[in-house]
Amino acid sequence: MTNRTTLLLVLTLLVALSPVAPGVSLVPDARADDPVMSTRSGPSPIESLEDRLVGDDAPADPVEREVFVIVQMKQEAALDRSRSDLSIVDREGARIARGYVPLTAVRDLSNDPRVEAVRIERSRLQGGGTPALATDPNVAAGVPAVGADELHLAGVTGRGVTVGVIDAGFRVSDPEIAGHVGAYRSFGDEGSDWTHGTAVASVVTDTAPGANLHLAAVGESTTPEEYREAVTWLRRSGADVIVDAGSYFGQPGDGSGEIAAVASAAAREVVFVAASGNYAERHWRGRHDPTAGIERVRFAPGERANYLAGGAPFGGPVRATLRWDDWNATGENRSDYDLLLLRRQPGPDPVVASGTESGEDPVEHLAARVPRGRYYLAVRAANGSTGNASDGDTLDLFAGRGLTHHSPGASLTAPGTARGVLTVGAGTENGTVAAFSSRGPVAGTDRRGVDLIAPDAVALPGASTGAGSSYAAPYVAGTAALLLDGHPSLAPRDVRSVLRNSAVDVGPAGPDTASGYGRLDAVAADELAAEHERYAGIDDP
């Protein structure tokens, strides 16, 4: 096991795909007071496994309004003349700058090496507490679907509650979230994809229009240290709820990686919500038997090729990640595998791309752009490696397109695998589990892996967002904010319990690995929270 914490972890945003290649991944049924699992380092960076729906031709920033900011600066630091409208004062040992700046300049301030933190003064903004209306086209359709609008009419909007959002990047000036942003900070290089994070934040504000947003941009890849800094900043800035709709590959599937450990630790103090992922149809899990003398891994009896997109012709980006359960092995006991992309054609099929290793971790990443054709993935035991010959290795393959041979179960990624985290899958319009939504259990454990499902509808004018569990998770985060508004005595573990036990059961009777406890119901959760408060003191000593 490597101790290198400077290796980059991939934040794969769970941008929903069209039905031809969707996918999801889920998290465990766990308690916040469970012990934190041991940590391990992460892999080198790769691009998102998802097909990007918004590229560099995204519409220009539509807002140039000014906002009042409070900037905490480093000692003895001064701002340049372009920001001379900010007045600087020294207060209680801290240097503070205050004044109005264009909302689009907040990001630059956050990245300024002379600046410690930036806070947008919400009291100087319009909005930020107006109840969402189900008939408003700018309010996500999932709000009335989960019953959050009924709580809004009763005056419960999440006022006074802070929701932290972790994502690659945000457009803080977007009208859908601008009036709700109380703080923003960038950690590392912020990604070019602002649409995903902005859409996630907009679902939170639609669900809890009175809540305050604190946004942490971690870029499309992040180190474990940067991720820990982002979560720590959100906790110290007063976040009551944190939602991370990303998926980090190259971490152990059992929740013992560093990202999961950070989330699990945070879940002791806040309600931590994670997206399950979109990999039920884009994940394969199986074992390789080195004693069989076969170099290529079998995906099914007699099948050593796993076709992408159902074997149909396609062109464009191909991304995949392979990991195997050899995290603690060293030397001759360590297995090694090669991830290969081949093109189907008359005669021998050529290898058009191969995976790259992730340092000493049992992980390979593959990224390529291919012309139109039929392609498949193959896995080869490298250099005659046999690893633990008596047991073989369990392998997990994740792809950015649908796999012909796929395994819905155990298709989880961090932070959804962490103990104490609420993991949310995507539901359909009729309230059932979406076919692409990842299932549990957590790999190598008996933990269920799924807590809830929720709608994945988004209302973000001017942007193409798609759907997926990324947008289901913020409905749960927003509902958690509503509960904390209406029932401020609830502890994080109480909120988790209320949300689970008030859900509408779907699928098989009782909790299951596909839908968890069932479909989110904000009204039932509010009623159960009231009962919890009423009887909470009965068993107190």
**Strand arrangement, sheet containing 356-358:** 283-288, 393-399, 314-324, 361-373, 356-358
In whole angstroms, what is the distance from residue 237 CA to residue 185 CA? 11
- Please name the helix (run of DSSP H) or strand (run of DSSP E) that holds residue 41, with its range, or none: none
Amino acid type, 153: L
Residue-level pLDDT, tens digit, the chain, 541 residues = 433 333 334 444 333 333 322 222 222 233 333 322 222 233 333 333 432 223 333 333 344 556 777 788 887 777 765 555 677 776 656 778 877 787 778 878 888 888 888 877 654 444 445 555 545 667 999 999 999 999 999 999 999 999 999 999 999 999 999 999 999 999 977 667 899 999 999 999 999 999 999 999 998 888 889 999 999 999 999 999 999 999 988 889 999 999 999 999 999 999 999 999 999 999 999 998 776 667 889 999 999 999 999 999 999 999 999 999 888 776 667 788 999 999 999 999 999 999 998 778 899 999 999 999 999 999 998 854 554 444 578 999 999 999 999 999 999 889 999 999 999 999 998 889 999 999 999 999 999 999 999 999 999 887 878 889 999 999 999 999 999 999 999 999 999 999 999 999 998 899 999 999 999 999 999 999 999 888 765 444 3
Q: What are phi and psi of 529, to 5 degrees?
A: -65, -40
Q: Which residues pair with 414 in a beta bridge?
A: 248
End-to-end CA distance of the chain: 45
As annotated, the residues of the chain forming the CATH 3.40.50.200 domain(s) are 148-279+411-535
Q: Assign a CATH topology to domain 148-279+411-535.
A: Rossmann fold (3.40.50)
Instruction: Tell me if 199 sits within 8 A of 138, measured CB to CB.
Output: no
pTM of the model: 0.80
Q: DSSP alpha helices (H): ranges in 213-269?
A: 224-236, 258-266
Q: Looking at the domain that runs over 9-23+35-56+284-399, which CATH code has it been given?
A: 2.60.120
Q: In the numeric block, which tokens belong to residue 218? A: 């971690």
Q: Where in the chain is the domain with CATH 2.60.120?
A: 9-23+35-56+284-399
